[in-house]
Structure 1
Amino acid sequence: MLPPLITPYFPQYAEDTVENSASKLLDGSISAIFGGLFPFLHPGEEWPKCKECGNRLVPYLQINVTTSNTPEDFRRRVPSLEPEGTTILQVLLCTTETNNGTCFEGWANCITEEESWLVRRIHFAADGHDLADAAAYESVRTELEESEEITVIPERVIIGWTAGRPETEHDEGYLYEPEDEQYYEEHEPAEGLKLLGYPIRGKYYNNTSVSDNCQAGDAGSHDEWQCLIQLGTREEDNPIYTTGNIYVNQCALHPDSFEAVSSGTW
């Protein structure tokens, strides 16, 4: 039996500069912010740091999972934490330059041991009174902007997402028969930043979960991973250099259990 088809979603970037993008993400008039230097934090919360090197993480992607501007398929996978207000899914990475590319890449490729990212759902009230004041972190932003070893990703606003053609599993992860060639060509996974769908695979495959399995819950170790976000496979889609393709897997049973996967061909 062939793998089930899954529809991917690709970003629709705003053509012009969007003023007050953080407020617009909070009220749901846009879907997501790619990059930038505004991690959504609660008052008094420390700017997240890398557990491997201790440097500050930088925002990679922050998605409002409450607004209808984010695909319903994705919101089912990452539901809001509360019925009122706004839930944001955050992906923050350590972009400190190392001999392994970036600190995050070293961890995703299982070269280093400590987590070099933060992926979480965080919730805010509708009026935003529990959102930390940007001014409280101005010194951190200046520190990051002036750093010569940390890459700051330029902000781009994602107003919505466009559904792509349904995808099947990449042929590096599934053995297709010769008669399936046309089917595969019609549903081959696409490159670039995308939600859902199937990721691009390569000859090697590294993942950061313990024993390759999710350990959450009371059911014991289980392997129920699904691709949630492909972080980007080309330099124009992914400002931090990667040796292959890095994506975020989510456990199908536990929406807050994630692993980073790096796959490619040397």
Structure 2
Amino acid sequence: MVNQGLPKNEQWPKCPHCQNPLQFFLQLNLNTLPEALKNEFGSGILQMFYCTNEEIPCDCDYPGCQVFSDIHLIRIIQPKAEVQDVKIPENQGIFPPKLIVDWQYLEDYPNYEEAEEFGVELDFNLDELFIDNFPIEGDKLAGLPLWV
């Protein structure tokens, strides 16, 4: 995973609470997504940074899982924008880089509790199927969250 870079004159994003550099989690070229997701999220390079500070647990103390939490930065930059070479902060070794090599389409469904919230009535046999199998675990794009 190679960081596209930061826009010119931008410093590495920091957590507003602990002031540590945010962990670089993801970079995804939206222009190369599978056909089923073309233009679903716009175009450009999607980047995600998140606070992983364990000494001051920002993820616990602040609503890290909330959409508008300030302990993460999710943005789209354009690949033709002028970027600068940046030194990646030292805390960035937490997650080793991985490369997405293939996409596999899978049908995903909500868990049985969320299905009921959506107004879906399940019979007993299907309830057991949903309890054990959905939503699908693992890394995925555009699927349903598997709540812990």
Q: What interval of TM-score do these two structures reach, taking the shorter chain for normalisation?
A: 0.7 to 0.9
**Which letter maps to 1:159?**
V
Partner of 1:130: 82
CA spacing shift, 1:174–1:98, aligned 2, 3 Å = farther
Q: Tell whether the 8 Å contact from 2:64 to 2:71 is kept in structure 1 after alignment.
A: no
Q: Tell whether the 8 Å contact from 1:170 to 1:199 is kept in structure 2 after alignment.
A: no
SS of 1:76's partner is coil
Equivalent of 1:184 in 130, 134, 139: 130
Q: Distance in 2 between matches of 1:179 and 1:169?
A: 16
Q: Distance in 1 between matches of 2:64 and 2:42?
A: 29
CA spacing shift, 1:54–1:39, aligned 2, 3 Å = farther
Q: TM-score, normalised by structure 2?
A: 0.76
**Which letter maps to 1:154?**
P
Which has a greater percent of strand?
A: 1
The answer on 1:93 being equivalent to 2:50 is yes
SS of 1:90's partner is strand
Could you report, residue by residue, the CA deviation over 1:158-200 in whole angstroms, capped at 9, with x for unpaired residues?
Answer: 1232222x11111232233325337637962111111112111
The answer on 1:74 being equivalent to 2:20 is no
CA spacing shift, 1:152–1:172, aligned 2, 3 Å = same
Structure 1 stretches of 5 or more lacking a match?
A: 1-20, 23-37, 81-86, 202-263
The answer on 1:58 being equivalent to 2:23 is yes
Q: Tell whether the 8 Å contact from 2:15 to 2:22 is kept in structure 1 after alignment.
A: yes
| Equivalences, count | 141
Partner of 1:172: 113
Partner of 1:45: 10
Q: Tell whether the 8 Å contact from 2:63 to 2:69 is kept in structure 1 after alignment.
A: no
CA spacing shift, 1:114–1:173, aligned 2, 3 Å = closer
**Which letter maps to 1:132?**
Q
Structure 2 stretches of 5 or more lacking a match?
A: 117-121
Q: Distance in 1 between matches of 2:31 and 2:46?
A: 10
CA spacing shift, 1:51–1:74, aligned 2, 3 Å = farther
Equivalent of 1:163 in 105, 117, 125: 105
CA spacing shift, 1:43–1:55, aligned 2, 3 Å = same
**Which letter maps to 1:45?**
E
Q: Distance in 2 between matches of 1:95 and 1:151?
A: 11
Q: Distance in 1 between matches of 2:93 and 2:59?
A: 12
Sequence identity percentage? 28
